[in-house]
Structure 1
Amino acid sequence: MASTTESFGTGEPDGDTTMAAITHILALFTWVVGPLVVYVVTDDAFVKENARNAINWQIWLTVYSLIALALVFLFVGFLALPVLGLLDTVFVVIAAVKAADGEAWSYPLTIDLL
């Protein structure tokens, strides 16, 4: 899927941009657990949307990692696993910066599950 951005309002963002950005960074260290906790406890629609995007990406990253792990036996996975780790870091940083700017960025290569 193509990456898209969804702006919440014009001018000033309609949500807690700091918490939304932290939610993406939290996913780097806690997988889906951190964003899921944020998703459950927050009432802010903007933060919920960002948490949902972070959860969906982490789930799909896990799927891609499992496929790459299976491909290790074909020697392709040795290349794919580090690339996935790098992609995760880059995508999370982009999403956090976009969230801090008031945008809910949809991760590429991600189908919405939540």
Structure 2
Amino acid sequence: MNPADEKLWATLINLGGLFFGFLAPLIGFLVLKDRGPFVRAHSATALNFQLTLLIAYVVGTVLTVVIIGIFILLAAYVLNIVFCIVAAVKANRGEWYKYPMSIGFVS
């Protein structure tokens, strides 16, 4: 895959996490992981971040019984928007990016 295609797919995978949760990075990782190091790194980090957010959403949902869960859900939602946009911009520029505060499930 040429570098322009890698940048395009990395950008789409990061934005896909914003709209479709962990499904877009998972599909992108499974399909494109052997196509180039840049798209593999971006899809793996996007998948790790979306899985970390999934855990935060589950914990926040459980803790809505106590009021703190609402704040956890709100923080996770805002972080998803901000970090996915930052990652997509970095991918579009051809820069490597690692999401902060994400657990490394896939490498």
Indicate whether the TM-score tops 0.5: yes
* Match among 16, 34, 41 for residue 24 of structure 2: 34
AA at the equivalent of 2:14: H
Q: Is 2:90 the partner of 1:98? A: yes
1:57-68 alignment runs, 5 A limit: 57-68=49-60
1:2-41 alignment runs, 5 A limit: 16-41=6-31
How many Å apart are 1:27 and its aligned residue? Answer: 1.1
More helix by share: 2
More strand by share: 1
How many Å apart are 1:40 and its aligned residue? Answer: 2.0
User: Contact 1:69 / 1:77 at 8 angstroms: preserved in 2?
Assistant: yes
CA deviations on 1:46-65 (whole Å, 9 max, x unpaired) are: 11110001100000001111
Partner of 1:83: 75
How many residues are treated as equivalent by the alignment?
A: 102
Q: Give the whole-Å Cα distance in 1 for the aligned partners of 2:81 and 2:14.
A: 10
Percent identical pairs in the alignment equals 28
Distance change >3 Å, CA 49–CA 15, structure 1 → 2: farther
> What 5-or-longer segments of structure 1 have no aligned partner?
1-12
> What 5-or-longer segments of structure 2 have no aligned partner?
none
CA-based RMSD of the aligned residues comes to: 1.7
User: Contact 1:14 / 1:46 at 8 angstroms: preserved in 2?
Assistant: no
Q: Give the whole-Å Cα distance in 2 for the aligned partners of 1:79 and 1:33.
A: 24
Partner of 1:51: 43
With normalisation by structure 2, the TM-score equals 0.85
Q: Is 2:107 the partner of 1:112? A: no
AA at the equivalent of 1:87: L
Q: Give the whole-Å Cα distance in 1 for the aligned partners of 2:31 and 2:53.
A: 24
